[in-house]
Chains A and B, each alone.
Chain A
Amino acid sequence: MKKLAALAGFAILLAAPSAEAATNPLDLVGPVSDYKIYVSQHVDDLVSRTQQLVDAIKAGNLEKAKGLYATTRVPYEAIEPIAELFSDLDSAIDSRADDHEKKEADPGFIGFHRIEYLLFAKGDAAGAVPFADQLLENVKALQTRIAGLAVEPKVMVGGAAGLIEEVAASKISGEEDRYSGTDLYDFKANMDGAEKIVELVDPLVKKEDPALADKIAGNFKTVDEVLAKYRTADGGFETYDKLAEPDRLKLQGPITELAEDLAKLTGTLGIE
């Protein structure tokens, strides 16, 4: 999925009609255009939140920076299928220590998680300054590239499955935000990003396979209910270590089933 898409202006590429499904490509024009707006709003939000995080770091305000870390990432995690199309930026913005041979000591370990490491594990706001500047530059580059991106229906619909794969691979195990423990923010943002896509194509899926649409909706609801138990008064989430084992297991089934079911969406809609 991580391929560099052509910078082809604000166009919408239509899928060829498929033999298996009756979805008219024109039916996807509305959802794709709505999704494009959703992505644009999120990347704008990402830039302004990142600016606030950078300001706090540069002011040497460690506690404020730590408080902003989780919510700054939320818009990024919600549009990850699009952000990941630019693999160079994705790596610079969101790679984890595990992605690098020398882990935390690796010079290639930059971006959100390097800042997370410095703020939460080292309590070092000053050390985070160069990484903060670099992050801001990179999210602005992402904003520019997304503005010129043609979103293909396949990328959008496939993105729902991609987001759930993210959750299944690393969010559910608490590996993503290991220094801050703020995994549940990312978890929820991935879910919201996937749910948005599903919501946009839901009438079309219902036409092709109503049982699949219902099953998907049911599993989103179950996950939301479990996550809601971990909401904090300020609208955020408890740290990952508070997630009780029975609840983690309760999330596992719906997430895995969503991963299986969302992987069938492009086929169900006949998108090639």
Chain B
Amino acid sequence: MSRCPFPHHLFTRKSEKEEPSLPSRRALFRGAAAVGGTAMIAGLAPAYAAEPATAPEQPVDPALETVPFYGVHQAGIVNPAPAAGMFVSFNVLAEDRKELDELFRTLTDRFAFLTQGGPAATAPEAFPPPDSGLLGPNVTPHGLTATLAVGTSLFDERFGLAPLKPRRLQPMTAFPNDKLDADWCHGDLLVQFCSESAEANLHALRDIIKHTPSLLMVRWKQDGFLPQSTVRAGGRTTPRNLLGFKDGTGNPDASDPALMDRIVWVQPDSGEPDWAVGGSYQAVRIIRMLVEQWDRTPLIEQEKIFGRNKATGAPLDGTDEHDLPAYGADPKGLKIPLDSHIRLANPRTPETEGNLMLRRPYSYSRGVNRAGQLDMGLIFNCFQADLERGFITVQKRLDGEPLEEYVKPTGGGYFFALPGATGPGRYLGQSLMEAAA
């Protein structure tokens, strides 16, 4: 299942020195694989080898793009976010640890196939086809990643895993501005599907459902999207959220493995259970944006709420998006208000240095309420090595911010993205299952 199922030339493209100024998506994918390789953790097998760095010039069909599945860390976290994201929370129906182990193995097998592609499974015509056929007779990966995370409830009495719960994993509780809907919260498992195509994500989900009838039940699901221009730039430009502001400018550099080790990945001797090393806490929040009201708000007020220029993304004391705000020179918040979103989220002080996280959000749009107002907003999504120092601390700083008048968190949950499967024969959740044995 690890073998490339398509003729190799279909996957190759120009060598990097011939690339234009922006790196190709392909190169970024290789970069992601290299992160997995260089961020190796002692005691684990090497990450599955990435492809050679150079290849002959050939056009590449974006449908055939792949992101390596095997690695010390799961894919779908530090590689650039592609155009389509889908977050699916599941109830686990497995009744004992043996069935849970079977579930982890099945999910791993399916992820390994779906992310690398190959001929769709078939059956005699008198039977229901085992593949939905959504992508045709050949399952084209479209750069798919499927990232598996576990929720607090997986560590309840059902599987005897309570002593192994990651230390910071806890049920998401409502912040003062939240209006949580129980049908859109929590879950035993979360799978984050990301690819260049909404169909590839849906195909993957239907494949998972088909393969786990007795083991999984979908609890909630939210699709998301990113601006095409951002995606084409390989994550090097910052996407605008549905309030029209650039969102993610201050994100740490995901291509810096040492930085990711510090901010994103659980490290040995961090007080976390050994099995969790190489994993990451994932916080997902479905945040409705009250866009009609926002669109009736003066620009100057919008900018003061965020702390950035709407057009350029520059902090209000600077001229370029990537200028660092000089809060020290503006102690009273005359330029960037003290309660602006960027200033509260990251005050850039030595004490708040430890509150960093890697954000990987998507926008969503899902219909209209009874008042004729649009239900759209942000699937906030972030990864960090310490949930409390990361998301929870930052969100507490944001409690009461002026932006709250225009946003309403309604769902989501806290999860722990499992360490990666390091090669064929290994499976997601294996370190947890072995620690429990």
Q: A: which residues have CB within 8 A of B?
A: 18, 20-21, 219, 249-250, 252-254, 256-257, 259-260, 263-264, 266-268, 270-272
Choose among B93, B123, B210 the residue that contacts A253 (Cβ–Cβ < 8 A): B93
Question: Which one, A249, A259, A263, A271, contacts B93 given CB within 8 A?
Answer: A249
**A20 CA to B91 CA in the complex, in Å?**
37
A18–B124 alpha-carbon span in the complex (Å) = 11
- Whether, in the assembled complex, B126 has its beta carbon less than 8 Å from a beta carbon of chain A, the answer is yes
A253 touches B213 (CB 8 A): yes
Chain A contacts of B124 at CB under 8 A? 20, 267
Tell me if A264 and B127 are in contact (CB < 8 A): yes
B126 contacts A256, CB within 8 Å? no
Q: Which residues of A contact B229 (CB under 8 A)?
A: none
Q: Give every chain A residue within 8 A of B215 (Cβ-Cβ).
A: 253
In the bound assembly, the distance between CA atoms of A256 and B93 in angstroms comes to 11
Contacting pair B126 A20 (CB below 8 A): yes
Q: A249-B91, A249-B93 are in contact. Are A256 and B217 (CB under 8 A)?
A: yes
Which 8 pairs from chain A and chain B are nearest by CB?
A267-B127, A267-B126, A253-B93, A253-B214, A256-B213, A257-B214, A257-B213, A260-B213
Report the separation of the CA atoms of residues A266 and B124 in the bound assembly, to the nearest whole angstrom.
Answer: 12
| Cβ 8 A contact of A18, one of B91, B93, B123, B126 | B126
Flag if A252 contacts B93 (CB, 8 Å).
yes
Candidate in A249, A256, A270 with the most chain B CB atoms within 10 angstroms: A256
B127 surroundings in chain A (CB, below 8 A):
264, 267-268
Contact indicator A272/B93 (Cβ below 8 Å): no
Enumerate chain B residues within 8 angstroms of A272, measured Cβ to Cβ. Answer: 126
Residue in chain A with minimal CB distance to B211: A260
- A96 CA to B24 CA in the complex, in Å? 54
B43: interface (CB < 8 Å) = no
- With contacts defined as CB atoms under 8 Å apart, how many contacts are there between chain A and chain B in the complex? 40
B126 and A266 within 8 A (CB): yes
Q: Does any Cβ of A come within 8 Å of B128's Cβ?
A: yes
CA distance A230 to B210 in the complex (A): 30
Query: When the two chains form the complex, which single residue of B95, B123, B128, B214 contacts A256, counting CB atoms closer than 8 Å?
Result: B214
Closest to B94 in A: A253
Task: Give the Cβ gap from B185 to chain A, nearest Cβ, in Å.
Answer: 14
Tell me whether A264 and B93 are in contact in the complex, defined as CB-CB below 8 angstroms, given that A253-B214, A256-B213 are known contacts: no
State the Cβ distance, A89 to closest chain B Cβ, in Å: 28
Residues from chain B with Cβ under 8 Å of A250 in the complex: 93, 95
Query: Which B residues between 114 and 172 are near A, CB-CB below 8 angstroms?
Result: 123-124, 126-128
Give Cα distance in the complex from A254 to B213, angstroms. 8
CB distance from B152 to the nearest CB of A (A): 16
User: Could you pull out 19 A-B pairs where Cβ atoms are within 8 angstroms?
Assistant: A18-B126, A20-B126, A219-B214, A249-B91, A249-B93, A250-B93, A252-B93, A253-B213, A254-B214, A256-B214, A257-B213, A257-B214, A259-B213, A266-B126, A267-B123, A267-B124, A267-B126, A267-B128, A270-B126
**CB of A114 to closest CB in B, whole Å:** 25
- Per-position 1/0 for B253-276, Cβ under 8 A of A: 000000000000000000000000
Chain A positions within 8 Å of B214 at CB level: 219, 253-254, 256-257
B86-127 CB mask vs A (1 if < 8 Å, else 0) is 000001010100000000000000000000000000011011
Q: Could you tell me the distance between the alpha carbons of A133 and B127 in the complex, rounded to whole angstroms? A: 43
Residues of chain B contacted by A20 (CB below 8 angstroms): 124, 126
Contact of B128 among A249, A252, A253, A263 (CB under 8 A): A263
Q: Residue of B at shortest CB range from A251?
A: B93
Could you say which of B93, B95, B213 has the most chain A C-beta atoms within 10 Å of its C-beta?
B213
Sample of 5 further A-B pairs with CB below 8 A, known A257-B214, A267-B126, A268-B127? A250-B95, A253-B213, A257-B213, A267-B123, A270-B126
Complexed CA–CA distance, A257 and B217 (Å): 11
A272–B123 CA distance with the chains assembled, in angstroms: 15
A264 to B124, CA, bound (A): 11
How far is the CB of A230 from the nearest CB of chain B, in Å?
A: 19
B271 → A minimal CB distance (Å) = 33
A260 to B129 CA separation, bound complex (whole angstroms): 11
Q: Which residues of A contact B217 (CB under 8 A)?
A: 249, 252-253, 256
Q: Mark B203-216, 1 if CB is under 8 A from A, else 0.
A: 00000001001110
CA distance A256 to B124 in the complex (A): 22
B127 to chain A, nearest CB (A): 4
**Would you list which residues of chain B between 360 and 412 have a CB under 8 Å from chain A?**
none
Docked CA distance A272–B127 (Å)? 10
The residue on B at minimum CB distance from A266 is: B126
Complex Cα distance A260/B215, Å?
13
Nearest-Cβ distance from residue A21 to partner chain B, whole angstroms: 8
In the complex, chain B residues 206-247 whose Cβ is within 8 Å of any chain A Cβ: 210, 213-215, 217
Query: Which A residues are CB-close (under 8 A) to B210?
Result: 260
